[in-house]
């Protein structure tokens, strides 16, 4: 299985509700072609280097996925048909990607993020601990 990265530039004037069908279609398409979506990275709206369809801004989204050539062809066909997509580019990252290793790396990252969130929540609880008498501490006032 090969690992690909696709950068998609979407019309920046679209609302989030109008963008959603694009990503729902991709989320359905990838498993149909026995692919695996590793990460969807939303870069937000940025200024373009040159105007595309008379627009100087675009909403960038990066897709990192594993699949084969048929999946890439179908995704690019979908991007060409959809008027909301201004530009796209797919790059081969790894010729022989090991899906099991990628899934285990994702699981490790998710566990580390979950642990970091739990530690952060514990730290927040400790800093909000009440004082002995549950009275606010006042600073020494010099009169």
- Co-location of 85 and 114 in the same domain: no
- Co-location of 62 and 108 in the same domain: no
Provide the domain count of the chain: 2
- Co-location of 109 and 81 in the same domain: no
- Co-location of 10 and 48 in the same domain: yes
Local confidence pLDDT in tens for the 143 residues of the chain:
899 999 999 999 988 888 889 989 988 999 999 999 999 999 999 999 999 999 999 999 999 999 999 999 999 999 999 999 999 999 999 888 788 888 888 888 888 888 888 888 777 776 665 555 555 555 555 54
Report yes or no: 18 and 58 within 8 Å, Cβ to Cβ: no
- Co-location of 88 and 105 in the same domain: no
- Co-location of 111 and 81 in the same domain: no
Give the mean pLDDT of the chain: 86
Q: Please give the residue range of the domain that contains residue 107.
A: 98-129
């Amino acid at each position: 299985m090969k690992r690909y990265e696709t950068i998609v530039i979407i019309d920046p004037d679209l609302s989030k509700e109008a963008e959603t069908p694009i990503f729902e279609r991709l989320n359905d398409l990838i498993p149909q072609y026995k692919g695996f979506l590793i990460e969807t990275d939303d870069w937000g709206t940025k200024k373009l280097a040159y105007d595309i369809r008379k627009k100087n801004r675009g909403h960038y989204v990066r897709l990192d996925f594993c699949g084969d050539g048929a999946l890439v062809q179908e995704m690019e066909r979908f991007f060409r048909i959809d008027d909301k997509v201004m530009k796209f580019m797919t790059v081969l990252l790894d010729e022989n990607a090991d899906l099991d290793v990628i899934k285990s790396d994702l699981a490790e990252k998710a566990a580390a993020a979950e642990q970091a969130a739990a530690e952060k929540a514990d730290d927040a609880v400790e800093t909000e601990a009440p004082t002995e008498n549950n009275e606010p501490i006042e600073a020494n006032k010099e009169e």
